[in-house]
Amino acid sequence: MNRRAVGPSWLAPVGMVLSVLVAALLVDPRLQTWAPHWKHPVLDALVGLINPIGTGATLLVACVALAVICRGLGHARLRETAWLAALTFSCAGITEFAIKHLVGRARPDAGLASMAMLGPGFRPDVDSFPSGHATSVFAVATIFASAYPRVAAPAYALAAAIALGRVYLERHYLSDIVAGAMIGILFAAYLWRYRHALPRWMVLVPVPTTAALTTAEPTTPAA
């Protein structure tokens, strides 16, 4: 009889928190001084090209549009994946937005003290931790990687490139994007695992076609 070794339930979250702290304490200050020396026209063009993917509600609109289009075309699997990605984006995004305005960390290019934590507020450029770009791209990437394992490598590679681009642009510290990525991945993993238990109002219920309705109608036996 095989037994699976199960560790304490608190190990995973504690490990994640520690990774963020290590990144913040050891790497963030160095990256802040190194980032200006990395600038290159090719990297500028690449980061400028992919950065809008994680901006605002871009991925949310794209996922909803894809879900609606696939619903009309009858591609059930892709429709459900896109809709779940949109739902994950929203849940993770709300959490990320709340945390960043509770923490109140100054962005690297804000001209304030390095790694400053100013507390709750809605001050401009005091919303660095966690990264919204990292949260959204990793949330969507994880959903599509779970549904289509073959796209996992390119999906995560693109997500990582977009997230690291925020460090390159000096809009985030490394710990910001690590925390954002963890939020996105955790929400995606949870919603993917329990996707079949979601309330009906959270999922796109397929509209039955005329043919399906005709097939479903009970036939009256001939007298």
Residue pair 204/80 in contact by the 8 Å Cβ criterion: yes
Mean pLDDT for all residues in the chain: 83
Structure tokens at 76: 């059930």
**46, 62 contact by CB (below 8 A):** no
Closest CA to 134 of 36, 45, 50: 50
For 125-149, the pLDDT digits (tens) are 888 899 999 999 999 999 999 999 9
What is the span of the domain harbouring residue 79?
41-200
DSSP-derived 3-state class of residue 117: strand
Give the single-character DSSP code of 135: H
Within-domain flag for 80:
yes
214 within domain boundaries: no
**Could you tell me if residue 22 is inside a domain?**
no
- pTM of the model as a whole: 0.82
pLDDT tens digits, 6-41: 456 566 666 777 777 677 768 888 877 777 778 889
Helix segments in 4-75, DSSP class H: 11-22, 28-34, 41-50, 58-73
Whether 154 maps to a domain, the answer reads yes
Segment among 47-56, 168-177, 191-200 with least mean pLDDT: 191-200
Amino acid at the residue 35: A
Cα-based angle 49, 105, 138 (whole degrees, multiple of 5):
40
Q: How many domains does the chain have?
A: 1
Chain-centroid distance of CA 149 in Å reads: 17
The verdict on residue 211 lying in a domain is no
35 located within any domain? no
In the three-class reduction of DSSP (H, G, I as helix; E, B as strand; rest coil), residue 212 is classed as helix
Q: Is there a domain that residue 164 lies in?
A: yes
Structure tokens at 88: 């994950």
In-domain check, residue 218: no
Residue whose structure tokens are 């509770």: 102
Of 126, 141, 140, 138, whose CA–CA distance to 172 is shortest? 126
pLDDT (0 to 100) of residue 39 = 86
Q: Helix or strand or coil: residue 79?
A: helix
Nearest partner of 164 among 16, 29, 30, 31, judged by Cα: 31
On whether the CB atoms of residues 175 and 221 are closer than 8 A, the answer is no
- 194 is written with which tokens? 């329990």
Residue 192 has pLDDT above 80, yes or no: yes
CA distance 86 to 65: 10
Residue 117, both tokens: 């934590």
